[in-house]
Amino acid sequence: MRDLHVVLPGGVDNPVSPSGGNLYDRRACQHLAGLGWRVVEHAVDGAWPRPGATATARLAKLLSALPDGALTLLDGLVACAAPEVVVPAAARLRVAVLVHLPLVDEGGDTDLDACERATLRSAAAVIATSGGAARRLAALHDLDGVRVAAPGVDGAPLSAGTADGGRLLCVAAVTPRKAQDVLVAALATVGDLPWSCTFAGSLDRDPAYASRVMAAAAELDGRVTFAGPLAGAALDAAYSEADLLVLPSHAETYGMVVTEALARGVPVVATAVGGVPEALGAVPAPEMAGRAPTTDRSKRPPAAGPAIGLAADLVRPGILVPPGDPEALGDALRRWLESGELRDRLRTAARARRSTLDGWDTTARALSGILAAL
């Protein structure tokens, strides 16, 4: 059995602050153990990615205690915030860094960008969670050979959906990067149609921003609910009641909530950023199933949403819109709410996409191959 030391941010299992990165870390550790790795977890408390001296000292003590040559997988939220600790350790250990999100993409802090660059250039392997994220990291930090281990998704029962499609769901911490202000502005443009929207996500990551979003949403006649962070059965219930997932983010390396919705057959309206198009995916148009693709473009079915890199005989299980554009997002929501034909088509595509989603075992096998090479 091979030893693998995994360095995680403290609170990785805290149900009060769920995140895609925490879920990825937890599932990865579980499934790597099933592939023959002896996974030794080390959770380091701190306000990552701005940990302070005490947390940085904890990380330094932890890494210094590992034996020479120890294979070590570090969560990027921790590793990229402390190059003064990780870079020297990387000369002695076999270090891989798993980057869930470039630090500059969360808050735009150029000092964190420089820290991340120093850390990643010292690592034996850099792992991203989508092809788009790998390209972003390579360009941002002039890196070669960024590897990819895309998130998996847990299986889930199909959501029934309602006839009018009016139950909207946004699953994300309320922060500027997730752009709930854009969604609220878009919802204001469809006030003449029947809908309700639940925002499921932490309100304490950026309290000032959350307060502004909530104040704007209060003008929408009580149709917006802020449920706070949901996990486990409560999150399952929110998905089961949803007709449509809406993800208006300015930046996403993958967008795990997209596949969480698709695992339940719930279509998605999202921004075409980062790895979101990869997560959303595409399926053969129903009329094309079992047939060779036609070369006559006039007879090919239209794509659902912008056909960015999408073959004409495929459809997406949702609609992609530009980031930061309330008008475009509002138009997509209006199309969804007004067209029963569109809802049926996207629901059919979402259910077809459901059967093609990878589980966490696929993620673990990708990670295992990268780590074994070290």
Token digits of residue 297? 């473009």
Q: What is the dihedral of CA 194, 269, 255, 300, to 10 degrees?
A: 150
Q: How far is CA 198 from the centre of its chain?
A: 18
- Residues 51, 272: Cα–Cα separation, whole Å: 32
Q: What is the pLDDT of residues 207-255, one digit of tens each?
A: 999 999 999 999 999 999 999 999 999 999 999 999 999 999 999 999 9
Count CB-CB contacts under 10 A for residue 246.
29
CB count within 10 Å of CB 287 equals 11
CA angle 137, 138, 142 (to 5 degrees): 120
| Cα angle: 212, vertex 217, 207; to 5 degrees | 30
pLDDT truncated to tens, each residue of the chain (374 aa)?
A: 799 999 999 988 776 667 888 999 999 999 999 999 999 999 999 999 999 999 999 999 999 999 999 999 999 999 999 999 999 999 999 999 999 999 998 777 788 999 999 999 999 999 999 999 999 999 999 999 999 999 999 999 999 999 999 999 999 999 999 999 999 999 999 999 999 999 999 999 999 999 999 999 999 999 999 999 999 999 999 999 999 999 999 999 999 999 999 999 999 999 999 999 999 999 998 754 544 433 343 333 333 334 455 677 899 999 999 999 999 999 999 999 999 999 999 999 999 999 999 999 999 999 999 999 99
Cβ neighbours of residue 51 under 8 Å, at least 6 residues apart? 59, 78, 81, 82
Contact 134, 164 (CB under 8 A): no
- C-alpha to C-alpha distance for 364 and 367, rounded to whole angstroms: 5
pTM, to two decimals: 0.90
Which domains can be identified in the chain, with CATH numbers? 2-152+359-372 (3.40.50.2000), 167-354 (3.40.50.2000)
Look at the block and give the residue holding tokens 């499921």.
200
Q: What is the pLDDT of residues 156-171, one digit of tens each?
A: 999 999 999 999 999 9
Q: At what angle do helices 360-372 and 20-34 cross, to 10 degrees?
A: 70
CB 341 within 8 A of CB 304: no
- Residue 277 CA to residue 316 CA, distance in Å, equals 9
Q: Which distant-in-sequence residues (6+ apart) come within 8 Å of 41 by Cβ?
A: 6, 8, 29
pLDDT value of position 296: 40
Q: How far apart are CA 196 and CA 194, in angstroms?
A: 7
**Which residue's structure tokens are 């960015």?**
308
CA gap 125, 98 in Å, rounded: 9
> In the numeric block, which tokens belong to residue 206?
């950026």
